[in-house]
Amino acid sequence: MTTSDSEFNPDLLLAHKLPETHYTYNERDVAIYALGVGACNQDAVDSDELKFVYHENGQEQIQVLPTFASLLTLGSLSNGLDLPGFKYDPSLLLHGQQYIEIYRPLPSKASLINKVSLAGLQDKGKAAILEIETRSYEQGSDELLCMNRTTVFLRGAGGFSNSSKPFSYKNYPSNQGLAVKIPQTQPSAALLYRLSGDYNPLHSDPNVAKLAGFPRPILHGLCTLGFAIKAIIKCICKGDPSAVKTISGRFLATVFPGETLITEMWLQGLRVIYQTKVKERNKAVLSGYVDIRGLSSSL
């Protein structure tokens, strides 16, 4: 069978080499991101959170939330998902999962080089799942700063392989998958979060949201993830963002800006298992785990 570039062709897609991308940020970006995931949302002088938005007590640098690392992948979208051998409807794309490894605390400003590759492709029949890995280095350094694996869930793009043996490819180990104060999102949450660089109109434009099958714009998955991990830093890590080593999350259902997020967490050794629910609908919207480096003795 011959296949043209305009059809879904897994071999052509997986053989494709993605170009390196660049991402530069500064302390203003770091503070806008922290506000976008609700830092100081409940209390403008919150002693655990002011350091993420302000040089508290004369600190030299604003501290960076570990989930800020997820923004670095935005630089990987230079060509969108316009890839050879890959056919899908962009309006039906949803963020499925995010996995982050942080090798050292993120600096408050940096110029980064991202090495991007395709880490997975699966045919789920009604949907295709594509995984993109982004390894970020500071410019001029060989030392890896962090790694993101972004999973996109492409509704309507499945069924490209033999249904009795659906296509499934992953280049990483399968073990990397997967009640506290109530952080409420503001009705304007997605409008603020988009200023961190994800301008997908699905999160701001009512007409685009309707085309994608939603009654109104939905919240960015990475914004929900930011709220959840910030709650874990506060409740388990005593406010220390550098305690976070690995973050894994799967987006289970959509969140609408203004809904109340409740994150439940369970500590198992050095792994925090968590689940985030929308209080108004009693619906689980995110679940996953966070691996931490250690626990402070004063816990």
Ligand X SMILES: CCCCCCCCCCCCC/C=C/C(=O)SCCNC(=O)CCNC(=O)[C@H](O)C(C)(C)COP(=O)(O)OP(=O)(O)OC[C@H]1O[C@@H](n2cnc3c(N)ncnc32)[C@H](O)[C@@H]1OP(=O)(O)O
Residue 11 designated active-site = no
Instruction: Categorise residue 159: left if φ over 0, alpha if ψ from -120 to 50, beta otherwise.
Output: left
Nearer to ligand X, 93 or 110 (CB): 93
Nearer to ligand X, 230 or 250 (CB): 250
Catalytic hit among 38, 75, 96, 221 = 221
Nearer to ligand X, 240 or 259 (CB): 259
Residue 159 designated active-site = no
Interacting residues with ligand X (CB under 6 A) = 18, 73, 76-77, 79, 81, 93-97, 116, 124, 129, 132, 150-153, 200, 218, 220-221, 250-254
Report, in Å, the least distance between residue 141 CB and ligand X.
22
Beta pairing, strands 244-251 & 144-155: unpaired
Report, in Å, the least distance between residue 94 CB and ligand X.
4
Residues 57, 91: Cα–Cα separation, whole Å: 46
Residue 221 designated active-site = yes
Residue 22 designated active-site = no
Place of tokens 């949201």: 209
Residue 30, token pair as written in the block: 């770091």
Residues 190, 97: Cα–Cα separation, whole Å: 18
Catalytic hit among 29, 75, 102, 203 = 203
Report, in Å, the least distance between residue 267 CB and ligand X.
24
Report, in Å, the least distance between residue 168 CB and ligand X.
8
Buried b (16+ CB within 10 A) or exposed e, 130-162: bbbbbbbbbeeeeeebbbbbbbbbbbebbebbe
Q: What are the residue numbers of the active site?
A: 198, 203, 218, 221
